Amino acid sequence: MLKKPHIIAVGGGKGGVGKTLISLTISLALAESGRKVTLIDADFGGANLHSMLGIHTPRLSLFDFFHGKVNDFNALVTKTPVANLSLICGAAGAVGMADIQYWDKLKAIRLFRQLQTDFVVTDLGAGTSLNEIDIFNAADQGIVVAQPEPPAIQECYSFIKLSLFRKLRSEFMDSAWVTQLLDFCNDPAHTRDNRLISTLAEDVRKKDIRLGMRFYRLINNYTPHLILNQIRHKDEIMDGLSLQIAVQDLLRIKIDFWGYIPHDHQIYKSIRSSRPDAITSTRGEVRKIIMRMVKQFVFKEEIKNPNTDNNYVPLLAFLHRKENQEEGMDRICSIQCTFWDKCDYQEGGVYCRMPENEYRIKLKMAEVKETRGDRIRGHLGARRN
């Protein structure tokens, strides 16, 4: 049996934040590593990937599939000038593309998995419509892109929240009372019902322990990946941090922060002059950063000292879950921790995985060292006096 492709979706709510640029660059990085990649322009309202790859008039596009002109999904796959990279074009300017039927969308999502390729990368359109969210949730890795400005951060938060609720809803289709509860809490008319996701999970658990455990498992495993794009100043990285904290505090899910990408004037210039060579050139700054992210987060290669490249910022957070506190594990993966310098969380890893007993032993040793240090300092101080 053929191996199914690994699907990566790139979304994020706000328009113009760089979803298309990042989808394309991730695809280029994967293709450069020798993997077969099919990039899908799933921006149903404003497809433009083909022109970024120098294809002016697409021969066939998703429009032809959704309107029954083509039945074979594989026939949509178009070669690109880049080795190992194929493209399924979206329909630029086609009326009605944004209103595709629910069943057609599900069929397309199923067909993404049957493509004969190693990776499928889908570039989603702006907004939080169910088209974007369903394709995002169907992916193996969903990346959200945000820009360091309040509207983009807010829309990114909404995108993550709606995607999480949609995921939970689709997983609990067999329990009407859970879907009703989710719909009630997600309905803007009930915004005064400020129940957090963790409270919802508790409510479900109290009523039905089996469903409650399923609920917890789903939120624990739901991890969107974040890329902060178009950074012009280091301080702007804090916006990514506040988004992470908001998501962890309010939705009780982790965000896997892939890093940030600076605003690159070369890209801006090449897009303006309709010469996409700055994007496709392997020497480009964005290409290099994305290649490193792909190696670390898709291929799971060990990257030595990623901090030296300034693409990673310390991440703050540990989910203060009750069960963790009961086990005495309410440690915070932040600069306040004694072992922060050795913590792989700040390099984009997962939060504290040090077992409790090991943590306590290390803490004790650190305390002893510190007391000795104080004694030595005190001794030197006494001598100086």
Ligand X SMILES: Nc1ncnc2c1ncn2[C@@H]1O[C@H](COP(=O)(O)OP(=O)(O)OP(=O)(O)O)[C@@H](O)[C@H]1O
Which residues contact ligand X by CB under 6 A? 15-21, 43, 46, 125-126, 229-230, 261, 263-264, 267-268, 271, 286
Shortest CB 263 distance to ligand X, Å: 4
> Within 10 Å of residue 96's Cβ, how many Cβ atoms?
11
Q: Is 128 in the site for Mg ion (CB under 5 A)?
A: no
Q: Give which of 76, 11, 4, 5 is closest to 37, Cα–Cα.
A: 5
Q: Give which of 294, 144, 155, 161 is closest to 229, Cα–Cα.
A: 144
Residue 211: which residues within 8 A CB-CB, separation 6 or more?
Answer: 172, 175, 178, 204, 205
Q: Cβ distance 155 to 25 under 8 Å?
A: no
Binding partner of residue 16 among ligand X, Mg ion, none, CB cut-off 5 to 8 Å per kind: ligand X
Q: Which is nearer to ligand X, 41 or 64 (CB)?
A: 41
Binding partner of residue 286 among Mg ion, ligand X, none, CB cut-off 5 to 8 Å per kind: ligand X
Q: Which is nearer to ligand X, 45 or 212 (CB)?
A: 45
Q: Give which of 364, 353, 348, 367 is closest to 310, Cα–Cα.
A: 348
The residue whose Cβ lies closest to Mg ion is: 20
Binding to Mg ion (CB under 5 A) within 83-102 occurs at none
As beta bridge partners, residue 146 has 228
Q: For residue 255, which amino acid is it?
A: I
Residue 256: which residues within 8 A CB-CB, separation 6 or more?
Answer: 223, 224, 225, 226, 297, 348
# of chain residues touching Mg ion (CB under 5 A): 3
The interface mask with Mg ion, positions 28-47, x = CB under 5 A, is ---------------x----
Stretch that binds Mg ion, among 17-25, 30-38, 147-155, 244-252 (CB under 5 A): 17-25
The interface mask with Mg ion, positions 132-171, x = CB under 5 A, is ----------------------------------------
Q: Which is nearer to ligand X, 267 or 337 (CB)?
A: 267
Residue 283: which residues within 8 A CB-CB, separation 6 or more?
Answer: none
Shortest CB 35 distance to ligand X, Å: 22
Query: Would strands 85-88 and 37-42 be described as parallel, antiparallel, or unpaired?
Result: parallel
> Within 10 Å of residue 246's Cβ, how many Cβ atoms?
17
Binding partner of residue 271 among ligand X, Mg ion, none, CB cut-off 5 to 8 Å per kind: ligand X
Q: Give which of 79, 82, 43 is closest to 58, Cα–Cα.
A: 79
Both tokens of 37, joined, read 């990649």
Helix (H) or strand (E) holding 78: strand 77-79
Shortest CB 123 distance to Mg ion, Å: 6
Binding to Mg ion (CB under 5 A) within 42-81 occurs at 43
Shortest CB 151 distance to ligand X, Å: 13
Both tokens of 81, joined, read 């000038």
Determine which residue in the list 20, 80, 280, 296 makes contact with Mg ion, applying CB under 5 A: 20
Shortest CB 129 distance to Mg ion, Å: 14
Binding partner of residue 264 among ligand X, Mg ion, none, CB cut-off 5 to 8 Å per kind: ligand X
Shortest CB 17 distance to Mg ion, Å: 9
For 19, counting Cβ atoms within 10 Å of its Cβ (0-12 exposed, 13-18 middle, 19+ buried), the class is: buried
Q: Which is nearer to ligand X, 261 or 354 (CB)?
A: 261
Q: List residues near Mg ion by CB under 5 A.
A: 19-20, 43
